[in-house]
Structure 1
Amino acid sequence: MERTSNTGHLCGTVTGKPDIPDVVIITCDVNARYVTVYQETDNGGSTALDFLEVEVYACAQGMYGSNCIRSCAARHCDSQYTSPCLVATGKCSWGCDPGWKGDDCTQACVQGMYGSNCIRSCAARHCDSQYTSPCPAATGKCSWGCDPGWKGDDCTQACVQGMYGSNCIRSCAARHCDSQYTSPCPAATGKCSWGCDPGWKGDDCTQACVQGMYGSNCSKLCAARHCDSQYTSPCPAATGKCSWGCDPGWKGDDCTQACVHGMYGSNCIKSCAARHCDSQYTSPCPAATGKCFRGCDPGWKGDDCTQADADSGRFTRNSMVTRYDSPRFTPTRDDLTQHL
């Protein structure tokens, strides 16, 4: 037989002149269309080959590997693609389905590893630490979700900048941190370092005050204000400001500051010391009215004795004399005694 080419895949050689066995078995682990048998050595000037027959055995369809004992159907090739089944190796051309590894994708991931080619570590996930989550070999999915600051089925994706919380669904921009300061936005909690703007509460300042509450961290009670009781005043969640001012005895935008000692009246602008209460007595100074309970000194009137009274009916001795000198009135001794 004339040798025409030996550039193909070398399956094997036979040596041992003159003791070559009668039957030689050579395994060739490639797919091929032709088998070429040739002599490479000088055989005493002769190129003849002595053999009776060459038998070629191939794996049956659907089987591969040594002695054709492996089933192509038992492989776990990437199911997104159709992979041929090489009779020699069964290699999956496009890799394996998640949870499997090896050239022919028949090796399951060892415990603690998962994913495509089993290269991901279960320990590197950030599953919700309140629960114990299994680690499926295919996906590594966290059954109960992620710890705050992480997302994805296997909780290995950190929140992108500007997002925070469980599964990274909260926006840092939606917080109401104290606007006097610049607050960082931790990926786990979004906590506002310096507290909230008035009208908001919670670590991340995203909870609006419930009705009836206002102020920083919603800690103030609308019902505790002393707004002018002549009017109905709304209660803004941020300030609690009384639209119509305060009841007497109180001050401040939200009318929760009582007058300090010595001051009284609306917005606490009146001084107790400026009253003219009857000086024969010591009169208290109610924060609401400043009322003089024993009346006023002569020449003054009003509950708080701050209004001058030009027509007072009480007279000093000099004023009585002047009045009694009038030609229209001559007082008796009893009259003078009564007014002195």
Structure 2
Amino acid sequence: MQNGSEKHVWLTAVQCAERTGVTVRALRLYEQAGLIRPRRNGKNWRLYGTGEMARLTEILALKRLGLSLQRIADLMAGHATDLDLMLTIQTIALQGKLQRLQQSLAMVEALRAKTAAGTLLSVDDLVKLAKEMNMRDASMDSVAWRRYEQARPRTEKKIAPSLYADYAGFYLLDEHVFAITSRDGRLFARLTGQRELEIFAEDEDRFFYKAVQAQVTFVRDKDGAVSGLNLHQNGYEQAAQRVEAEVALAVEEVLAERVRNNQPVENSEALLRQMIEQHQRGEPDYESMMPALALASHEQSAAIQSELEELGSIREISFKCVDPEGWDVHDVTFDKGKLEFKFILASDGRFGGIFFRPVS
């Protein structure tokens, strides 16, 4: 039997970052927000012990729920926060993923049952299976195939107007809301911060836009009720789960509040600076991007690097505003020019989109 407790282990900021998978910069941000208070040694180095590591684990878990640092601070201080809304959003997202996996599994099991019964699979069976697998595939070949499929001409078809009532409602797409409205025998779709556009029936549950190359497919559950939708655009399939009006309004209010307060995402300037410098070096971090953006960045990497390299080093980044769709907008001054950048983050913290253009 040993006397006393086990020797306490202290980690430096670099060691702590390596163990937890966060950056040293992130640790400093958590400290500045008052979320964690590392000890100091005689050389004034920050030290992280078991208590600090446990606290850090809590912070990271709450961030994965989509909470901002301010809301995490409020929660840890015992103040009221919108944790229930965040949990609701996460629940809906996970339910949507589970439903899509169950749909794929059901299709595969049905085909296995046919082969087990000695029935040969038809070409139509295999095509349906290939399409289902393609929807989950982010490879360049699959994305290219979906782009072709999404760009083909569509023919409008009349369907029973009574079906439109099935589709009308709210659908959660990441941190935005898809609002589907039926008026005068027509169907309209609006994504948070964007203008409303009419969508046209290609078949029951399948609609397409005329204004853009995109389609919407409504998904029904085993009881035949519409439970979600898939947005087909830019070679990708984005799933949105149907939600109650109260949840949709709460989600839209979170974004509206950020737009009203002109509040950029946390660490907005640092995130943008890092992204620009990575592209200038020809080393973009594709894991920090959503699949569609990662693919587009990969395809254009040489051109992006050339354009940004020519501008030289970053001299200043100035935040301008949060636009109505929730994108952070910055002016970036380089040694040899100036660009306006706008970007948006997905709920998991990855870049969902980024654009830049010259500033006159």
TM-score between the two structures when normalised by the length of structure 1: 0.17
If asked which structure has higher relative contact order (CA below 8 Å, sep 6+), I would say: 2
- TM-score, normalised to structure 2's length? 0.16
Higher helix share: 2
Q: Which is greater in Rg?
A: 1
